[in-house]
Amino acid sequence: MTYTIVTGASKGIGKAIAEELAKQGKNLILVARSEDLLKKLAEELAAKKVDVKYLAADLLDEDAPKRIFDWVEIQKLSVDTLINNAGFGHFGKFADKPVENHLQVMHLNMDSMVIMAHQFLTRTDGSRRRYILNTVSTAAFQPVPYMAIYGATKSFMLSFSRALRQEMRSRNVYVTALCPGATESEFSAVAGTSKVEGKYSKYVMTAESVAKEGLQGLWKNKSVVLPGLMNKLTTFAVNLVPQDTAAIAAGRIFKENK
Ligand SMILES: NC(=O)c1ccc[n+]([C@@H]2O[C@H](COP(=O)([O-])OP(=O)(O)OC[C@H]3O[C@@H](n4cnc5c(N)ncnc54)[C@H](OP(=O)(O)O)[C@@H]3O)[C@@H](O)[C@H]2O)c1
């Protein structure tokens, strides 16, 4: 019996991924800070005849990934898949925000994801196929003025995912970067980007469709998954122009948030 760890499983894209995995018959370990939401989701998903465990953890705490995998060992659970999804961002000019805000975004979106991946690869059974799905973003493909740190963390994760995928190829590990664009979740409320999301609402995808495409890509061993036609088209266009031009365009969109 194997398990999938889903971080950021209490809401949004992570919750939708957990629901889709349960439909696919996968046993789950749900991780996030909101224990009440995890408990509720675990109870709902257990009705789908899968085993669902949950662990409340704040991934901004440096020791959290180690504690999660210590717990997995104590419980004698075999984990073959990591969905590295918990993340957040802040809207605003870099210099106008306290540096602590930026460091928190960097810590959750990069350090905690990297440490989770390292714990997973060093502490799980390497004799069987293993899978890592990193939730990145279309923000990874160009600089994002007014969300400069968020965009940079996502570029880091995209580069890391692509490199790790090559390194782990011979060890039977599939690594996929899921790169959603605007998606229905609590992300924009947390980031303070609800205005701009409202203006482009017809392009906002549901968390369920992002989750479905992400998992399809993971099982097919895709390097990068861009869910939805609009995200594929805009990323294609971004790759055709100089990065500074793409940054100007991204900055114009986010300026509309004010
Ligand atoms: N929505 C979008 O438009 C969009 C687009 C591209 C990429 N993404 C990426 O998708 C991922 C999921 O975001 P979402 O859109 O689903 O946003 P969301 O609805 O705000 O969900 C974020 C999840 O991360 C968890 N989380 C936040 N801080 C945490 C911490 N310190 N420790 C542990 N868990 C934490 C939250 O749970 P608790 O609050 O219970 O801890 C929640 O489950 C993120 O990596 C985000 O960057 C989102």
Active site (catalytic) residues: 150
CATH classification at residue 91: 3.40.50.720
Q: Write the CA distances from 110 to 65, 106, 136, 158, 255, integer angstroms.
A: 13, 6, 10, 10, 25
Domain count along the chain:
1
The per-residue pLDDT for range 224-234, each reduced to its tens digit, is 999 999 999 99
Segments forming the whole domain that contains residue 106: 2-255
Q: Mean of the pLDDT values across residues 64-78?
A: 98
The per-residue pLDDT for range 205-251, each reduced to its tens digit, is 999 999 999 999 999 999 999 999 999 999 999 999 999 999 999 99
Show the ligand 1 pocket: residues with CB < 6 angstroms.
8-14, 32-34, 37, 58-60, 85-88, 108, 135, 137, 180, 182-183, 185-187, 190
pTM of structure:
0.97
The model's confidence at residue 202, banded by pLDDT at 50, 70 and 90, is confident
The angle formed by the CA atoms of residues 187, 63 and 127, to the nearest 5 degrees, is 90
